[in-house]
Structure 1
Amino acid sequence: MADERPAPSYRDSEYRPVAVAPVMAQPVAEEAVQENLLAGRNPIREALKAGRDIEKLLVQKGELTGSAREIVQMAKEAHIPVQEVEHQRLNELAKNHQGMVAFASAYQYSTVEAMLAEAEEKGEEPFLILLDGITDPHNLGAIIRSAECVGAHGVIVPERRAVGLTPAAVKASAGAIEHIKVARVVNMTRVIEMLKARNIWTYALTMDGTDYEKVNFKGGVALVVGSEGEGISHLVLENCDQKVSLPMAGHLDSLNASVAAGVVMYRVLSSRRA
């Protein structure tokens, strides 16, 4: 692993799409659909454990067994109304609900400053994930889940041309959304400039960067991941300090966005523990 971080390189000729494969993305319009709806047992359980305000819990009739019974008990102890409904009613509200849907308070987005403050309070170097135009909610949820697992201090997403915390994204996070900060920003480039001013190195995940295993990830880290089809935008990429990539040994030349991000996140964690 390199002893020093290399100097930033901003040459336009070096731009390539991020090393992720195109996927079928759901319309961003889904962002406006009931962001306060939680579907599935893990998201609801974690929301209850985190003390999130939940207005009502709907449970499928005849499903009060196993983990469902445990979750219902947690809800009752928190004085949350529990209502048994038909399977069709839950289908009307959400897909893959696992027999359970909850109406929760709207998710309160955090700020970049709050993420940096958390890192300082913990005595840790900042570790942030910046998502540039991720439009698939399942990728967003999976990345949030990985970010929480590696101890990142937050995930930053743009307000426009990207998916928000839809029910599908929340479910894909498997409850991680209750334990990690997520911020929405107007201008990702300005965020990168602010992070660089605080000596936080920005790494762009691309197809033609330095092998991620040879990169020094010690110190403050901001990992930038681009959209499934378009990659990292030109303006964002040219402001990053270094491009990193994952070597491919098979016939395909790229990984899914959430998989690629997860691999590099764990490399960052490993570097910090070395």
Structure 2
Amino acid sequence: MAKGDRKRALRGRAGRMQGGRGSGRASAGQVRLWGRHAVEAALKNPDRSHRKLWATREGIDSLDGDLPPGFPVEYADVQDLARLVARDAPHQGLVLECAPLDDVHMEDVLTSEPTGPLVFLDQVTDPHNVGAVLRSAAAFDACAIVTQDRHAPPESGVVAKSASGALEIVPWVRVVNLARALESAAEAGYWRIGLAGEAEATLAEALPAGPVALVLGAEGEGMRQNIAAHCDALARLPIGERMESLNVSNAAAIALYAIAVR
């Protein structure tokens, strides 16, 4: 079937949407994603189970590749789609409801030969920041990000939109005890470097030749004392005195670049 014919065959019922909440919350057990990059990456991810796509015709046309025959699509206008997502969320004509990704376990990441860095986030709760860190992790070939299950945002449309497709690429490990996960990383051969503005050494001075586990704390509070104690070294980014600190996602991007080019 030709691309144009396939899209005509997928014509759904337009008008007022079913399931619209204006909160971005999906049906029970599902997650709702929006925006072209996030939706396109999820559609291409074979590990995703998709329930339904709401879209404008322009949104469908923006996707790279065709939807499978019979894929559940409901066409609607921009105003209708806005009812399905968080307030003022830039959905770009695409809203996808799908099953959350399967859990990724720490041992699954560590059993592979360590190559790219691991990124540990200590109580970083802003979904925009976590999504941006995922995006940088994908750009610089990090093998996973690791968060504490109770002090990190859930998988969501906000995380996915900020990650710009990286949510489908970078494994996200959720652990009960972040300190124990750092111990496991050390046993697997990772050198644990915590970013701290008060550290004497710069990141360039602290980087080893081997695999790195990069540890970042939340803005303001920074790393907890117990997490800092589980690092092999603390290091700072050499930023100017006029700025006290960087946003955690910006710091992650700079540090991952430094690791990539050492």
Cα-to-partner distance string for 1:243-267 (whole Å, 9 max, x where unaligned): 1111122511111100001100111
Pair 208,250 (structure 1): closer, same or farther in 2 beyond 3 Å: closer
- Corresponding residue of 1:108: 102
Distance 1:33 1:156, change over 3 A: farther
Structure possessing the higher relative contact order (Cα contacts under 8 Å, 6 or more residues apart): 1
Matches of 1:155 and 1:236 in 2, distance apart?
Answer: 15
Once residues 205 and 158 of structure 1 are traced to their aligned partners in structure 2, the CA distance between those partners, rounded to angstroms, is 17
What is the alpha-carbon distance in structure 1 between the residues aligned to residue 109 and residue 69 of structure 2?
A: 29
Match of residue 258 from structure 1: 249
Q: Is it true that 1:74 corresponds to 2:66 in the alignment?
A: yes
Q: 1:78 offset after TM fit, Å? A: 5.4
The answer as to whether partners of 2:118 and 2:145 remain within 8 angstroms in 1 is yes
Q: 1:78 to 1:72 in 2, by over 3 A?
A: farther
Q: What RMSD, in angstroms, separates the aligned Cα atoms of the two structures?
A: 1.9
**What corresponds to 2:21 in structure 1?**
none
Structure 2 CA distance for partners of 1:176 and 1:238, relative to 1, 3 Å: same
Q: Secondary structure at the match of 2:150?
A: coil
Shift of 1:213: 2.1
Give the deviation of 1:160 after TM superposition.
1.1
TM-score, normalised to structure 1, is: 0.79
**Counterpart pick for 2:39 among 39, 44, 58:** 44
Q: How far apart, in 2, do the equivalents of 1:220 and 1:154 lie?
A: 13
- How many percent of aligned residue pairs carry the same amino acid? 30
Question: How many residues are aligned here?
Answer: 231
Take 2:261 and 2:141, find their aligned partners in 1: how far apart are those partners? 12
Which runs of 5 or more structure 2 residues have no equivalent in the other structure? 1-23
Q: CA deviation at 1:33?
A: 4.2
**CA distances 1:107-149 after superposition (whole Å, capped 9, x unpaired):** 222111111234x2xxx53521000001111100000010111
Q: Distance in 2 between matches of 1:258 and 1:78?
A: 39
> Counterpart in 2 of 1:198?
188
Q: Is 2:100–2:155's contact at 8 Å kept on the other side of the alignment?
A: no
Report runs of 4+ in structure 1 exceeding 3 Å deviation: 32-35
Contact 2:206 2:233 survives alignment (8 Å): no
Q: Which moved more, 1:84-93 or 1:186-195?
A: 84-93
